[in-house]
Amino acid sequence: MPNEATATLNLASLLKRDPSVYELADSGSFFLDEGYMDEFSIEKPLSWRVRVQSTGDSEFLLTGSVWGEVLMPCRRCLEDTLVNSRADFVYSLHYQPGLSELDLVEQEDDEDYLVFGRPAVDLGQFLSEIFVVDLPLTAVCQDASTCKDLSLLYNNQPSEKQTPFANLVDIELES
């Protein structure tokens, strides 16, 4: 059963090292923290699905996706337009008892990995960051016929003589 409006995964059965349990999967929805919403807005929770597979002593493989809809300003008309986005990920996951939160360990020579210290792992912050990083930088209205392109307003720009730089046209520069 999906977790409603949270992104918590309980890995207790994997941590017991029961040979009959080598994989866990879960899905649900969660609300994106408002701190991420500078360039867009969101009206519905994001959806997520993850799978964790045991790969050795205290090591796991985390794979999954996070997706949802955001409203972003159209780069042509500046009106809000709906953008569907999806981010897929694969990370090594290491168990280190005593840690209170999921944390990313960045490595220069090797791949980055995640560490956790409790059986119940809150993936909300991690999924939020993955989703936001994968959002497009700009959006365009899906229906071009209704988009009022603001650049068309500037096609009838004044001639050079009417601009503040008109006086610079006659300047002779010596080299």
Closest alpha carbon to 64 in 116, 29, 25, 33: 25
Closest alpha carbon to 54 in 20, 101, 100: 20
Residue 62: exposure state from Cβ atoms within 10 A (0-12, 13-18, ≥19): buried
The pTM score is 0.76
Res 151 pLDDT > 80:
no
Res 3 pLDDT > 70:
no
- Identify the band that residue 155 occupies on the pLDDT scale cut at 50, 70 and 90: low
Place of tokens 């159209």: 74
Question: Phi-psi bin for 73: left (phi > 0), alpha (psi -120 to 50), beta?
Answer: beta
Question: Phi-psi bin for 131: left (phi > 0), alpha (psi -120 to 50), beta?
Answer: alpha
Distance CA(13)–CA(2), nearest Å, equals: 17
pLDDT tens-digit map of 87-105: 999 999 999 988 889 999 8
Closest alpha carbon to 22 in 51, 50, 53: 53
Closest alpha carbon to 141 in 97, 76, 93: 76
DSSP state string for 57-69: TTEEEEEEEEEEE
Mean pLDDT of 136-152: 82
Q: Tell me the β-bridge partners of 26.
A: 50
